[in-house]
Structure formats: C-alpha cells, structure tokens
Structure 1
Amino acid sequence: MTPIKVKGKNGSRKRPYQSPDPEYARKKQQQRQLTSASGDTPNTTTTTTTTSSKGQRTRKGPASIEQLPPEIIERIFLASENLAFPRSSLLIGRMLSARTFLLGLAVAAFGPTWDVWFGCTRAQVASYAGWGRDMCRFGGSRVFQSKVLACRWMNWEMMLDAQKIWFRRHGGGGRHFEREVGVLVAQGVMARADEIGECFEEDWADWKEGCEALLYAERADGRHDRGAMKLLVQQCLRYQSPYLDLHCMAKIPDYLIAGPFNWDRAKLLFWLIRGGATMNADQTWELARRGFSTVMLLQDRKLILVMLRLFGSLPRFFDRWPDHVLKVYMFLGLGYLKHLLLRTPRSVLINIAKLH
C-alpha cells in the first residue's frame, strides 16, 4: 500500500545535514554587487519569505492608496459616489466604517437637496402641473441617494442626525421648518438643530395616534370594522407629504416595501413618505403585494395598522396592481381588518393572510 503523508502527523522526518551550495552563494553575492554598483535601491514594499515545502512566496505590502491619510481617502470616496469602494480593501473598509463618516456620507448624498428645499413645504413651491417630477428643480443625485438608502446601516436616527449636522453647517437661524399641522416654532423659524428631531417625533406621534384611532372607529349602525376601514381609506387619501427631503426620483429600498418589518423600518419609511418619496417604475406590483402579505403576518396589531396606512399613503403603491388582484386583496384586507379589530385568535388571522 502507498503511504499517505499527513501534515503534522508523527512529526517531521529527520533529514541529514546538507552543506550550503557554494554556487548559489556566489551568484547571490554577484547580484548584490551589481545592485549596489548601479545605485538601485531594493524594493521595500515587498518582503519575501522562504519555506521548505512551498518554495518562495511573496507577500505584498499595503497599496499606495492605503497609505494615504483617512481624510484624503474619505474625500476620494465621497467624490466618486461609489459605495463599492470600501470593499476594495479591508483596511479601507475599516477606515470608512465609523459612524461619523457614515453621517458625512448621508450629508453628502442628501445635502444638495436640503440646500434647495429644506424648510419649504409643498404648498409653498407648487407652481405648475407635474412640478413634483421635474428633476431639474431638485438638487442632489437620485442614484447616489438611492444607494445610500439601500445600505443596511441606514435608519431613521441616522437620517435625523445627518440632517442636524447639515443644519449646523448650512441651516443658520433663517431657515424655517413647519409641521404638517400648524407651525413648530413661533414665526416658523427654527433656531436649533434639535428641533428637527422634535418636529419628526411629533409628526410620528400624530401618525400613530391616527392609526390607533382605527381601533375605536364605529359607524352609526355599530359596524366597527367598516367604520375603521372607511377611516383608514380617508386617512390615506387625505395625507400629502409636506416636505421635500430627498430627490423626487430617489428609490425606496425594496426591503422597506417587501419586509420584514419592525418599528425602526416603519419610522424610516414614514420619514421617506413624509419627505416626498414614491415607488419607482422598476418596483413592480408583485413587490408591493409581497409587502402587503408580510404585513398581515405581523404579531403587533398596532404595527399592522401603521404599515397599512403607510402603504396606503405611499404614492404608486397600488397603481400597477391588476384589477382582479386588487379587488381580491381589498376584500381580504377588509376581512382581515375586521378580525384584527375584533381581536380574533392568531390562527384565524394567519389563515386569512395566506389566502392570496
């Protein structure tokens, strides 16, 4: 039988001592003399290690771009708008993963839009038919903003912190920021960056209150389910995004439409809808249907109502649905809402959600 050599087993075999080859030593000496005579300096960026089993193996040193200061690398990254750049090197990826840099990335992506429209409401800038889809009026790059929104580290807290940083740099005391209902500050002037977060939290609280009101909506004839459904439809049709916080053609990430969902993702989707986001042409109705079905399987009843209202208020969410599919899902949604409000056992809700 042929013996099989296993590395590290039974120790390494002892070999007799071999004297160094004089011819090899003479050639190396001549090579060093020629190098020193020509004035060439050996390359210090590479080191060579020799092993008895694998021969010579060359290990390269850091690339030229990796030796640049982090501030220069950050500027190169922001100028390129290529989010695959950090994956080119472990060292570069580590340098560009700090939260402070990610906030700067969000400011670089959305700052040009805020330069134009921050503090302005849609009612103030509406001027002609189709102005909301006129890309010439919006600052910033829709592609760059879409890529930043698709990053997994992006959430509503990052967006608000980035907006605060931009406001401290460029906002000043003359910027105004109105709420959806009424004015946040006297004379509509925002003096502090913290008021950005306060304004968002108040709008979010109003949104949740409207969803919780569905739990207590009743018609005159006592039909609780139909009264809630009618109120939900009225809320969705009445809501108009008040602000212009992102490019009109920026793409909402697919995971915010198809799921899975939680409260953090719901707040990020609310920030996007509140800022004027819509579904893109390449996002199909099948994606929206998948998200609708995912919402039906959630455990949190309040989150279900919030997501249903978000979907109903999102422009173009139901636009491309086939008529027969839309009718079936609206019928299922009415039945599901009825069982949801009457607090039917969970097994019944799951069976309703799977009927598609």
Structure 2
Amino acid sequence: MSLTPIKVKGRGRRKKWQPPDPSRIRNNRRKREDEDDQENAASHSSKSPKRLKKNGNKKSELEQLPTELFWPIAVMSQNPNLMMVNKQFRKTLSARSFLLELAVGAFGPTWDKYFGLSKASLLASRQHETDQCPGDYKFQGDVLAARWMNIDLLLQAQQVWYRQQGTKRCWKKSQCIYWTLNTQTPQDQEGQQAEGVHEAQEAGDKEPDVPEIQVWFDQEWQEFRGAFSAVDDHGSYKRGLIMGIAEDKNKGYLDLHPLTPVPDRLLKGPFDLQKTKLLFWLVRGGARILPQHSWEVTRVGFEQIMSLEGDNITLAPYLLFFYHRLGVFEWGHWPDFVLQEKADWLDEMLRKVSRADAPEKYRLYKFTLLWVFQLATYTRAHG
C-alpha cells in the first residue's frame, strides 16, 4: 500500500513559465468593458474605470457659465486676481476683451462724471472733493497694479467706454501739465472758460466730439515733451520756469479717484517708455503720493532713474518731474535725511563724472541737483 503524498506549499516541482494566453486576456477585458457599459453611459463605454474616474470631476458653477454671463460677474467681483484661481479661469479671463471690460468697470464711474473736464474747472465748481468722487479707488488701484495693465490697454479701455456712451461729451482741453513760457494761459481766463463749460453742460449743449483717445493722449504727450526743450547744456532752465512749476499744480484732468494708489511697480522701476507714459497718464489724471506709499520704494525708484542708460536716459527728466508732481520730494514723503543723502551723492557724482566723456550723465546729475532738489527745498520752505 502506497503512502499518501504530503503536499507542502513552496515545495515540489516549479511549473514552467509560459506567456499569458492572449485570447484569455481579451476575454477578460471584454467582460470588464461589458460590465462598465451596464453601469455608465454609452459615451464612456470605450474608457477604462480609472479614466472614467479621472474625467468625471465636475466643474464649478462659475466654470459652467457661458462667457457672456461669466465676464459680467467677474467684473462685478472687482477682483483682478480672479483669473489666478485655476487654469480655466485664467484661460477665460485673460482675453483682451475682458481686460478692457475690467478697466472700464474700474474707471468708468469716474469718467462718467469727470471725463473731458479740466482740473481747473473742477476746482472752480468744487466738484473734486474726495467724498463726491465716484468710483472705487481700491478697485482702480488693483487694476493698475496688475502686470497686464499698460498704457495701450488703458487708452483703449477709455475709448471703449467713450463709444459706449452713445452721445457726445462736453470736452474742455486742459493746459499742458508742464508750465512753459510759451503756452502759459492766465488762470482767470481758464477759470472763465471753465464756468462756460459747466453752464453749457448743464444746459445740454454739446461741444465738438472728442478725438480718438489715443490721438488726444499722443498730442498732450508731445506737448509735455516739448516743454523740456527749455533745458540748456548746464542742466538748468530759463528764468521763471522753476517758479512756475512750483506754483501751478491745477492742470490736467481727473481720470481716477483721488485716493487711487499708484502701484509700486510704477514707482520703483525699472523704467521704460511704456511705464513712463502710464505714469504721465496718472499724473495728468490727478494721481498723488498717499500716506500708505513707502519712501523706501520711491528711493529705489530714484536710484533706478539715475541709473538709466542708452536711449532710456532721455526719460529721466520726465520721470523726475512726475516724482515732483506726485509729491515724492515733499516733506510729507521723503525725510530730510534722504533728500540730503541724495544731494550729497549728486555732488560726488558731478566730481567723478567728466562732462566731456559722459555728457548725458553729467547733464542728468546737474539737472537733478539744480532743479529737482532746489525745487524740493523751495517747496518745503514755502509749504
């Protein structure tokens, strides 16, 4: 009688390896797909359960909205950073058409009331008070601080807003924000013109239509640049020009809320032509340095201006003037020790830089020391 063999797991002869039967694999796969067809929609019959689970995530209610409904909601949220939530939002809200709508939503209320009116006319009628100015200054500041905002988009947004009005606006061109001996108009004459503009506007009379916003802006930019033709080789200006700049701060328009902060990226540089033009638009539109602005930021910006090279060095006088009009060099922003520190630095640089070897740098340092800092000292002494 033979003994019963005892089988122990792991013992005995190992089976020879054979490749899997393809027909068996196909049958198992077909069986799983048939089971999936019974549980899922017919459109997903060819996908594996893992793929179905991955693509089955539902979109948010905002993402499911059509673009024509989503854009107005995004504008009313007054949050330019909404496009950073996810890739779908970034794709939908990065279109130039939406960015224009966002800019119009931010600045439109202010333009509705003040567009086409010079600052002098607003001062005469006391319509410039902060509590009476429409528009959300925080929303405007957030839009200006966005990386995608530039002067071309802002002017195009203003043109879009103007066309949306459907009617002509009463428009009073302001004087150039830069006082010059050739273009200066007596203040009383401008005040009389301003009163006539308000009377015509209240009566419903319309002046000739405003030109294209870009053309209008370019004209005033050229006027502003032309005012600097008075500078001589020594970096100084013709007699009376400095005093005129110091005394006349009521030119320009009111294109933004008085409490709208100037973004740090436009104050500390680095600077190029596009940023310079955007600063010109802000200064022309009534921007000012506010208490929340840090003098450390503007000191960095001043150093960036002094370090401009090549073609950009021609922008330095414009930027310094913008700093002056914004109030950077005033006592309430720059401390005395910072002003003295930069004046001493300019003295040292004038001794080091040769007028023959680096005429542009020498002229810039001379201009800054003789005009900007003398004007700042005069302003601090006379309030």
Partner of 2:325: 313
The aligned runs of 1:50-69 (5 Å cut-off) are: 50=49, 58-61=54-57, 63=59, 64-69=61-66
Q: Structure 1 residues 32, 247: CA separation in 2 closer, same or farther (over 3 Å shift)?
A: same
Partner of 2:336: 323
Q: Structure 1 residues 127, 316: CA separation in 2 closer, same or farther (over 3 Å shift)?
A: farther
**Alpha-carbon distance, 1:292 to partner:** 0.6
Asked whether the equivalents of residues 141 and 260 of structure 2 are also in contact (C-alpha less than 8 Å), the reply is yes
Asked whether the equivalents of residues 235 and 309 of structure 1 are also in contact (C-alpha less than 8 Å), the reply is no
Q: Deviations over 1:173-217 (max 9, x none)?
A: 24213121579xxx976544534333322221121122232235x
Q: Distance in 2 between matches of 1:194 and 1:347?
A: 37
Partner of 1:165: 160
TM-score (norm 2): 0.68
Q: Distance in 1 between matches of 2:315 and 2:328?
A: 21
Indicate yes or no: 2:107 matched with 1:110. yes
Partner of 1:200: 217
> Greater Rg, structure 1 or structure 2?
2
**Alpha-carbon distance, 1:148 to partner:** 0.7
Letter in 1 for 2:304: T
**Alpha-carbon distance, 1:116 to partner:** 1.4
Q: Distance in 2 between matches of 1:28 and 1:90?
A: 33
Q: Distance in 1 between matches of 2:350 and 2:318?
A: 12
Q: Distance in 2 between matches of 1:195 and 1:340?
A: 45
Indicate yes or no: 2:80 matched with 1:76. no
**Alpha-carbon distance, 1:42 to partner:** 5.8
Structure 1: any 5+ residue segments left out of the alignment?
1-12, 36-40, 217-223
Q: Distance in 1 between matches of 2:271 and 2:36?
A: 67
Q: Distance in 2 between matches of 1:43 and 1:315?
A: 69
Q: Distance in 1 between matches of 2:74 and 2:32?
A: 47
Partner of 2:118: 121
Q: Structure 1 residues 335, 137: CA separation in 2 closer, same or farther (over 3 Å shift)?
A: farther
**Alpha-carbon distance, 1:17 to partner:** 3.8
Q: Distance in 2 between matches of 1:109 and 1:280?
A: 19
Partner of 2:297: 287
Indicate yes or no: 2:285 matched with 1:268. no
Higher helix share goes to which structure? 2
Match of 2:82 among 57, 80, 85: 85
Q: Identify the range of structure 1 (56-65 vs 313-322) with the bigger mean alpha-carbon deviation.
A: 56-65
Q: Deviations over 1:264-288 (max 9, x none)?
A: 1111001001000112222111111
**Alpha-carbon distance, 1:124 to partner:** 1.9
Partner of 2:7: none
Q: Distance in 1 between matches of 2:307 and 2:103?
A: 33
Asked whether the equivalents of residues 168 and 193 of structure 1 are also in contact (C-alpha less than 8 Å), the reply is no
**Alpha-carbon distance, 1:225 to partner:** 4.0
Does the residue aligned with 1:303 lie in a helix, a strand or coil?
Answer: helix
Structure 2: any 5+ residue segments left out of the alignment?
1-16, 177-184, 191-195, 198-205, 367-383
Q: Distance in 2 between matches of 1:180 and 1:347?
A: 30
Asked whether the equivalents of residues 259 and 294 of structure 1 are also in contact (C-alpha less than 8 Å), the reply is yes
Q: Deviations over 1:36-64 (max 9, x none)?
A: xxxxx86989x97457xxx9952335614
Asked whether the equivalents of residues 87 and 93 of structure 1 are also in contact (C-alpha less than 8 Å), the reply is yes
Q: Distance in 2 between matches of 1:196 and 1:208?
A: 18
Does the residue aligned with 1:242 lie in a helix, a strand or coil?
Answer: coil
Does the residue aligned with 1:148 lie in a helix, a strand or coil?
Answer: helix
Asked whether the equivalents of residues 328 and 334 of structure 2 are also in contact (C-alpha less than 8 Å), the reply is no
The aligned runs of 1:176-215 (5 Å cut-off) are: 176-180=171-175, 191-215=208-232
Q: Distance in 2 between matches of 1:139 and 1:14?
A: 82
Letter in 2 for 1:16: P
Identical counterparts, % of pairs: 29
Q: Distance in 2 between matches of 1:325 and 1:195?
A: 43
Q: Structure 1 residues 245, 309: CA separation in 2 closer, same or farther (over 3 Å shift)?
A: same
Q: Distance in 1 between matches of 2:340 and 2:239?
A: 15
Q: Distance in 1 between matches of 2:251 and 2:350?
A: 25
Partner of 1:138: 133
Letter in 2 for 1:177: K
Asked whether the equivalents of residues 145 and 250 of structure 1 are also in contact (C-alpha less than 8 Å), the reply is yes
Q: Distance in 2 between matches of 1:341 and 1:231?
A: 27
Indicate yes or no: 2:23 matched with 1:16. no
Partner of 2:379: none
